[in-house]
């Protein structure tokens, strides 16, 4: 953990990332306007969107803990949710990218749990988009099997309405990717995907949209899409990345609005509720 902190500190000084991009978000109370705009789960009716019920055992096996509000493990994602939403609301942001330096840092698990936690908020709806076209994991981790996905949208065999899925959580929708995509960087930079991102932002302007993107250092896919996204959450695996990898990742993100850093798989002291 200390090595990661030192590497991040060094990366900030070397890349001139402004303090407001990587500082921890200060806690603030919800505004009266937000309280007036509570969204009732019963008011959301999916007429065209396919609803797929999630399997509890599959979620447990894949560390999707935010669905169980009685689980102490879900509290960490509620805390993360509060900090992320506060910063996004302060700046009027609605789109968030989840990235990591290299594979296996757990960014997809973080993205799913954060999306579910946000969906539990009374005044929020959220859409989770699997744009890790080289190694899609969202559908697999959720145990979702869809006939149509982003793959079909890219090939022209499906429209946006055909690939949106509701996983049985009323205020959460998913845009899954079933299979890896050849020439994924070129696909993400295509006008079709660029137009899709713009449409999602315009059509669902009141919705938080989370994009699960490929690792930064292996391919240039994430860098292609980041200019269209409001802000970034940087996920690192505790003890998994070298100082050089973290510094280089922060350099690549120097033009992005970095909300903060999530240290995944870190050993922390367990605390009781009180």
pLDDT digits (tens, 9 = 90+) for 72-118: 788 899 999 999 999 999 999 999 999 999 998 899 999 999 999 99
| Alpha-carbon gap, residue 262 to 170, rounded angstroms | 27
Averaged pLDDT score across all residues of the chain: 83
Beta-bridge partners for 268: none
Question: For residue range 161-187, what is the model confidence (pLDDT) as tens digits?
Answer: 999 999 999 899 999 999 999 999 999
Which of 36, 189, 203, 46 shows the shortest CA–CA distance to 123? 36
Q: Are 127 and 173 in contact (CB under 8 A)?
A: yes
CATH 3.40.50.300 fits 2-23+36-258, yes or no: yes
Q: How does residue 206 score in pLDDT terms, banded at 50, 70 and 90?
A: confident
Task: Locate 23 and state its tokens.
Answer: 């500082």
Q: Are 213 and 99 in contact (CB under 8 A)?
A: yes
Question: For residue range 69-83, what is the model confidence (pLDDT) as tens digits?
Answer: 777 788 899 999 999
| Alpha-carbon gap, residue 78 to 92, rounded angstroms | 20
Cα 189–Cα 232–Cα 148 angle in degrees, nearest 5: 50
| Alpha-carbon gap, residue 34 to 62, rounded angstroms | 33
Domain-by-domain residue ranges, the chain?
2-23+36-258
Please say if the pLDDT value at position 25 is more than 50. no
Question: For residue range 253-265, what is the model confidence (pLDDT) as tens digits?
Answer: 999 999 999 988 6
Q: What pLDDT score was predicted for residue 14?
A: 57
Cα 10 to chain centroid distance, Å, stands at: 26
């Amino acid at each position: 953990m200390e090595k990661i902190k030192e590497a991040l500190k060094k990366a900030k000084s070397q890349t001139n990332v402004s303090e407001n991009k990587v500082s921890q978000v200060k806690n603030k109370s919800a505004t009266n306007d937000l309280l007036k705009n509570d969204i009732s789960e019963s008011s959301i009716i999916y007429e065209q969107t396919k609803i797929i019920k999630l399997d509890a055992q599959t979620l447990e096996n894949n560390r999707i803990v935010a669905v169980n509000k009685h689980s102490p493990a879900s509290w960490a994602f509620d805390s993360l949710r509060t900090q992320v939403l506060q910063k996004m609301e302060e700046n009027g942001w609605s789109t968030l990218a989840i990235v990591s330096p290299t594979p296996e840092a757990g960014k997809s698990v973080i993205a799913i749990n954060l999306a579910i936690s946000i969906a539990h908020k009374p005044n929020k709806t959220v859409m989770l988009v699997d744009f890790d076209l080289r190694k899609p994991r969202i559908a697999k981790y959720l145990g979702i099997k869809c006939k149509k996905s982003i793959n079909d949208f890219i090939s022209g065999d499906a429209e946006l309405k055909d690939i949106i899925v509701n996983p049985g959580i009323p205020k959460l929708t998913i845009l899954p990717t079933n299979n890896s995509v050849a020439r994924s960087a070129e696909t993400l930079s295509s006008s079709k995907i660029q137009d899709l991102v713009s449409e999602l932002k315009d059509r669902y302007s009141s919705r938080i949209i989370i994009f699960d993107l490929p690792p930064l250092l292996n391919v240039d896919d994430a860098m292609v899409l980041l200019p269209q996204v409001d802000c970034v959450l940087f996920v690192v695996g505790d003890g998994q990345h070298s100082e050089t990898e973290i510094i280089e990742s922060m350099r690549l993100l120097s033009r992005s609005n970095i909300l903060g850093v999530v240290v995944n798989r870190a050993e922390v002291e367990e605390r009781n509720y009180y």
